[in-house]
Structure 1
Amino acid sequence: MLTAVRKPNHAPRIDNRIARFRYTFLDTYECGISLVGTEIKSVREGKMNLRDGYARVTDGELWLHNVHISVHAASSAFFNHDETRPRRLLLHKRDIRKLASRQQDSGLTMVPVAAYFNAGGWLKVSVALARGKDMADKREVLKKREDDREMGRVLKNTVRI
């Protein structure tokens, strides 16, 4: 009897660390993404940049804009893709309608937080409904981070009896 053996997933996880600094996340959604063959090969090699990306609802569909996926080096120019083309995100219609209404009503934005491969080998993009931080919020986060580091140093250097 033959059984299917699943290979371990060694594909990289691509994070948008700048988004965590610029925005406060309210809700997070896991979406599928529609890609062409050379795009998925490039993502498996870790050549994806989410930094300037955003998502927008257009005609009842969720689209990911301004995300850079490098061309695949081993493919000819004929088969390669446009690096920053809009890509369709796959999400349930009710979730898309909810995102569209919340985004229009309260001036929120949708930013990609991470891209990763799930256990089944499918590429998933985590999209967050977010509110932009002002400068005071950013300073507060930096101050809290520095205080936590200082507290860790003090606790590490304290002699325990």
Structure 2
Amino acid sequence: MAKKKPKKPSNVIAQNRRASFDYQLLDTFEAGVALSGWEVKSLRMGKADLADSYVLMKNGEAWLLGTHIIPLDTASTHFVTDPTRTRKLLLHKKELSKIVDSTSQKGLTCVCTQMYWKGHLVKARIALAVGKKDHDKRDTEKDRDWNRQKQRIVRDNVKQ
């Protein structure tokens, strides 16, 4: 019997799966995130939630709002920790201007879809998005269910 290879650890800290359901994601960007020490320690333990996070453009800078990083009891005893504080996103000027131009249009917004490690740095994947209508969401669910059924049929046929 061959030995199983150990799984490579994933570098994803947190994902916003709800964003791909609620929005049609158009263009993605990779942004650095300005964090304090206790936040990095919490992220190493995987204590982040991106469920309601979005990007706000203010004075030519990008700010990440709604990201919830739960402080560790051991690492944040002598700090005043605010789990939902606004965090600055680090982007190039061309990317910032593209996001500002796009979000100024009607119906476009910018949401955070993922936080991950890139080396020792924390990066955020943000995307320009258009809100889906209810019928689009139902179509997405139907497609997902049909793909599951196809996989089950193929799996059952292979077993026989």
Give the TM-score of the pair, scaled to structure 1: 0.87
Q: Which runs of 5+ in 2 are unaligned?
A: 1-7
| Equivalent AA in structure 1 for residue 70 of structure 2 | S
- Compared with structure 1, are the counterparts of its residues 129 and 160 closer, same or farther at alpha carbon in structure 2 (3 Å cutoff)? same
Amino acid corresponding to residue 88 of structure 1 in structure 2:
K
For the structure 1 residues 107 and 10, does the alpha-carbon distance in structure 2 shift closer, same or farther, using more than 3 Å as the test? closer
Unaligned runs of 5+ residues in structure 1 are 1-7
3-state DSSP class of the match of 1:158? helix
Asked if structure 2 preserves the Cα contact closer than 8 Å seen for 1:63 and 1:88, the reply is yes
Deviation at 1:9, TM superposition (A): 6.5
Distance 1:76 1:124, change over 3 A: closer
Contact 1:25 1:128 in 2 (8 A): yes
- Aligned partners of 1:16 and 1:112 also within 8 Å: yes
User: Are the equivalent residues in 2 in contact too, given 1:31–1:89 (CA < 8 A)?
Assistant: yes
Q: After superposition, give the CA deviation of every residue in 1:26-74 in whole Å (9 maximum; x if it has no partner).
A: 0000000000100111111111110001001100100001111111211
Pair 1:65–1:158, CA change in 2 (3 A): same
Identity of aligned residues (%): 39
Aligned to 1:130: 129
How many residue pairs get aligned? The number is: 153
Residues 29 and 127, structure 1, Cα contact 8 Å, conserved in 2: yes
Match of 1:88 in 2: 88
Over 3 Å counting, the alpha-carbon distance change for 1:160 and 1:124 in structure 2 is: closer
Question: Which letter does structure 1 place at the counterpart of 2:60?
Answer: G
Partner-residue secondary structure (3-state), 1:13: strand
What do residues 89-140 of structure 1 show as CA deviations (whole Å, max 9, x unaligned)? 000011101101111123311111000001x211000001001111100100
Look up the match of 2:5: none
Provide closer, same or farther for how the CA distance between residues 159 and 42 of structure 1 changes in structure 2, counting only shifts above 3 A. closer
In structure 2, the CA distance between the partners of 1:159 and 1:53, relative to structure 1 (3 Å rule), is: closer
Task: Identify if the C-alpha distance between structure 1 residues 52 and 76 changes in structure 2 by more than 3 Å, giving closer, same or farther.
Answer: closer
Is the CA contact (8 Å cut-off) linking 1:11 and 1:44 kept in structure 2? Answer: no
Rate the CA distance shift 1:11–1:145 in 2: closer, same or farther, 3 A.
closer
Q: How does 1:26-45 map to 2 (within 5 A)?
A: 26-45=26-45
Do structure 1's residue 140 and structure 2's residue 146 form an aligned pair? no
* Distance in 1, Cα, partners of 2:43 & 2:100: 28
TM-score, scaled to structure 2: 0.88
After superposition, the CA RMSD in angstroms is 2.1
- Residue in structure 1 matched with residue 17 of structure 2 by the alignment: 17
1:56 and 2:56 aligned = yes
Distance 2:27 2:66 in 1: 21
